[in-house]
Structure 1
């Protein structure tokens, strides 16, 4: 059901503090923790003694100690201490997963075989380290399959209907915006321009536009995350295909990690710039983005409940589904090759 041998988002760096963090990722129960030396580790969430979740335990130096009988595990998964017992059995260990912390994102390698070595480096999301932007993010839990979230993010025509109070705008303009879809290997790119449009609420609150504006939406789909660059300039002032264009920018990170076949983790951040002549608006953008993504979650959870209720009743595709359908074909191909 899931493409394996991929890097998936397991957490944001700021989630790992002084307690273990339990997450199920692609049907695998995992405990994530940060050692005293700052290393991030991921182990199967099970003590090899009596199977109590290690996430019920405590952090101890560079290891994690089971909360039942005190067995201490190193980041490698090897048990390194059994209270009251000098000899440690050779089989006293649990599976460890490769994790890499980069750009404040914790990536976990989900191999087809547990304990397999990565065959590629983790993604690099440089926006989080770009001094032009300030960012903030969070985590949503969805009671819906992960590909429904992909569908939603690859089709931003819904903004004019679902997000009227924040980043929406004219629904007709959204539905009729010229859309170009490109594919390259395992990636899909969707580019949409909406010229001479009225500023939606978030945009007008964050940037001193003079009137109508030219908006862009650039969506880059990767197997385990999407990078979405949206923004606007005053109408007819800059070319929307200029990678160095100015104006108001919103750069969204969307890490979509399946929990199970029917539930998902959604790791998101939003980075934005502030106008040099105005106060910092990054917190306003963050709050309105959080509201926007909560609106998406409500819609998608309701969508999946209705899909389950109506069963195999047929659905149709329309013109706005081109990007989502290409992404689904990528996932289908990768799953078939496993």
Structure 2
């Protein structure tokens, strides 16, 4: 529905985002809005989620807040303003908003109208991730807590992470992460390895409710460059990839042990581990935020090894970004042309069906 805003001498037509479109994105879900380290009390963080402009910030007590990124007076983005102990102040006329989105101060005016407010989002911070709730109605409350991720607090691991912005729909990123057969072709210099071994890996796909688990084993294979750079393998390795998809985030556990030294089905197996956390949050129908962390288990030189793993991971994900954005651009050029599935598409296809069901 189009709405006209009338200001003396100005007429603006716009379509409000108050009504959410369930056909575009799954709703009644938690989405990752930011890594905790991104949100501070010094400067606002502006992002768009599911087509809605949001500003995130911390108040003086350390609490994370997320409100609609506009001042209710003349709609300047609040992210253009400044942070204070009790909230965020508009950079146009100085109106101050608290974490509930209520304006608490109008400079030069004693009375603050009750309607002087903007929408506040439900946010929770869990295991160094900031989650934001998107319900089918704007004021709906969560019916469950955000997922935990204890790897971030485990003494066994060291970790770090970053954020990428994609000019591509979020589902294409899900597809990429659920199909690691591409590693031998896209990531030759880092986590790849023999492409033929990747394409012929032993694979199991399991579905349980809204989860999809893909297990891939590459036994008696040559470890890729990233692995040999940080772990003292004796020679060939038995390598695993376990990908757990849940709506809008994936947990990918990869690693290797010296060949014939450990059971790849043992959850306590040793060797070199990389535990990746991949949160894919739609910005719009055609763009996405990709928030990721990578944890690893060095034997020694923990910070040095972590720095090398993070550098290699970022390089790897940049390679994926180039491929996915090029793929999407070509999909638009060849719109309507059929795509043929192959054996590696079982996991991605099951995840897509889950996301479609959640839109209903």
1:150 matches 2:174: yes
What's the C-alpha RMSD, in Å, of the aligned pairs?
A: 1.0
**Number of residue pairs matched?**
336
- Contact kept, 8 Å, 2:57 with 2:64, in 1: the verdict is yes
Matched ranges for 1:150-169 at <5 A: 150-169=174-193
Matched ranges for 1:92-171 at <5 A: 92-171=116-195
Q: Equivalents in 2 of 1:179, 1:219: separation in Å?
A: 11
SS of match in other structure, 2:226: helix
Q: Which residue of 2 is the match for residue 6 of structure 1?
A: 29
SS of match in other structure, 1:236: coil
Q: Equivalents in 2 of 1:280, 1:50: separation in Å?
A: 49
Offset of residue 115 of structure 1: 2.4
SS of match in other structure, 2:176: helix
Matched ranges for 1:172-251 at <5 A: 172-251=196-275
SS of match in other structure, 1:286: helix
> Which residue, 251, 271, 283 being the options, matches 2:295?
271
SS of match in other structure, 1:30: strand
Q: Which moved more, 1:273-282 or 1:140-149?
A: 273-282
Q: Which residue of 2 is the match for residue 44 of structure 1?
A: 68
- Contact kept, 8 Å, 1:227 with 1:254, in 2: the verdict is yes
Q: Per the alignment, do residues 179 and 209 of structure 1 end up closer, same or farther by CA in structure 2, a change over 3 Å counting?
A: same
Where does structure 2 lack aligned partners over 5 or more consecutive residues? Answer: 1-23
Q: Equivalents in 1 of 2:159, 2:302: separation in Å?
A: 17
TM-score (norm 2): 0.92
Q: Per the alignment, do residues 65 and 283 of structure 1 end up closer, same or farther by CA in structure 2, a change over 3 Å counting?
A: same
- Contact kept, 8 Å, 2:158 with 2:302, in 1: the verdict is no
Q: Equivalents in 2 of 1:3, 1:38: separation in Å?
A: 30
- Contact kept, 8 Å, 1:274 with 1:280, in 2: the verdict is no
SS of match in other structure, 1:141: strand
Q: Equivalents in 2 of 1:29, 1:22: separation in Å?
A: 7
Q: Which residue of 1 is the match for residue 356 of structure 2?
A: 332
Offset of residue 275 of structure 1: 2.2
Q: Equivalents in 2 of 1:257, 1:278: separation in Å?
A: 30
Q: Which residue of 2 is the match for residue 60 of structure 1?
A: 84
Q: Equivalents in 2 of 1:304, 1:276: separation in Å?
A: 42
TM-score (norm 1): 0.98
Q: Where do 4+ consecutive residues of structure 1 move more than 6 Å?
A: none
Offset of residue 62 of structure 1: 1.9
Offset of residue 192 of structure 1: 0.5
Matched ranges for 1:66-85 at <5 A: 66-85=90-109
Where does structure 1 lack aligned partners over 5 or more consecutive residues? Answer: none
Q: Which residue of 1 is the match for residue 4 of structure 2?
A: none
